[in-house]
Structure 1
Amino acid sequence: MTEQYTPSAVEKLWYTWWEASDIFTTDSSSSKTQFAMILPPPSVTGALHIGHGLTTAIQDTIVRWRRMSGYNVLWVPGMDHAGIATQVVVVEKKLIRENNVTRHDIGRERFVSESVDILCFLPCF
């Protein structure tokens, strides 16, 4: 066993197995009741926080329970979850209010950096 977790080694093997097992599809000919849920990606900054882990854990529980209850389940990774709204409402308004600048004024690299600083301190619900 390795001393530390190496995502690239572990996840590549799992992802190959998931694809081979048709985890990302449902059986369209199934008579079972359909159940689908979207797994949102991290925020626009890519910075993960405890809220992402909590959301994923809750969704994982719901999906497993539905599968065990006989549903034809599809859990779709990667759909947007209002990242643009968060960007506008939280980050851009804060930049304008506190520094009188827009994202266009400071450029993408600094904007992403500012976003990480702001969003990592928001409470998670």
Structure 2
Amino acid sequence: METQSAKAYEPGDVESKWYPLWEQRGYFRANLDSTKPRYSIVLPPPNVTGSLHMGHALNITLHDVLVRWKRMKGFDVLWLPGTDHAGIATQNVVERRLAGQGLHRTDLGREKFEAVVWEWKEQAEKNILTQIRRLG
């Protein structure tokens, strides 16, 4: 019986099959009670500016390689990605978005501006963490 290979690799098909299984089996959790040797990496948090760029992708890929290698070597691994939600870069993005609407942060007042920044942070952070998951 002859089987045909796909004409092109579809990463979404593969990811949707394996990633939930990896999460279910706890492959991304460290065990505090483990007697295995420990290894940890903390991802320098990207600013919450909307999307990751190629530099982030390179850094995350290198971390992913190291983490997987250590897991294969029997280490209990903690890889802790996150985001920097309080950065000036985040504020700058929000101010540019407001400027596109003809507004300045002082037009909103402090409380309203902070609320807009936090709302943006929630949206952008969700996007960034999804991108991190898709990268590794």
TM-score, normalization by structure 2: 0.51
Query: Residue 5 of structure 1: which of 10, 24, 39 is its match?
Result: 10
- The answer on whether the counterparts of 2:47 and 2:90 sit within 8 Å (CA) in structure 1 is no
> What is the alpha-carbon distance in structure 1 between the residues aligned to residue 57 and residue 10 of structure 2?
17
Query: Residue 36 of structure 1: which of 33, 40, 44 is its match?
Result: 40
The 3-state SS of whatever aligns with 2:28 is coil
Alignment of 1:1-125 (within 5 A): 1=6, 3=8, 5=10, 7=12, 9-39=13-43, 43-77=47-81, 79-80=82-83, 82-85=84-87, 86-88=89-91, 90-91=92-93, 101-102=104-105
**1:1-20: per-residue Cα shift (whole Å, max 9, x none)?**
1546352x332212122023
Measured after TM superposition, the shift of residue 100 of structure 1 is 8.4
Match of 1:121 in 2: none
CA RMSD of aligned residues (A): 3.9
TM-score, normalization by structure 1: 0.54
The 3-state SS of whatever aligns with 2:56 is helix
Question: For residues 100 and 6 of structure 1, do their structure 2 counterparts lie closer, same or farther at Cα, with a shift above 3 Å needed?
Answer: same
> What is the alpha-carbon distance in structure 1 between the residues aligned to residue 70 and residue 93 of structure 2?
37
Question: For residues 11 and 46 of structure 1, do their structure 2 counterparts lie closer, same or farther at Cα, with a shift above 3 Å needed?
Answer: farther
Measured after TM superposition, the shift of residue 54 of structure 1 is 1.0
Match of 1:116 in 2: none
**1:53-100: per-residue Cα shift (whole Å, max 9, x none)?**
1111121132134335542112245x22x2430213x546778xxx98
Match of 1:118 in 2: none
- The answer on whether the counterparts of 2:30 and 2:77 sit within 8 Å (CA) in structure 1 is yes
Q: Please, which runs of 5 or more residues in structure 1 have no aligned partner?
A: 113-125
> What is the alpha-carbon distance in structure 1 between the residues aligned to residue 71 and residue 11 of structure 2?
29
Question: For residues 44 and 34 of structure 1, do their structure 2 counterparts lie closer, same or farther at Cα, with a shift above 3 Å needed?
Answer: same
Question: For residues 15 and 52 of structure 1, do their structure 2 counterparts lie closer, same or farther at Cα, with a shift above 3 Å needed?
Answer: same
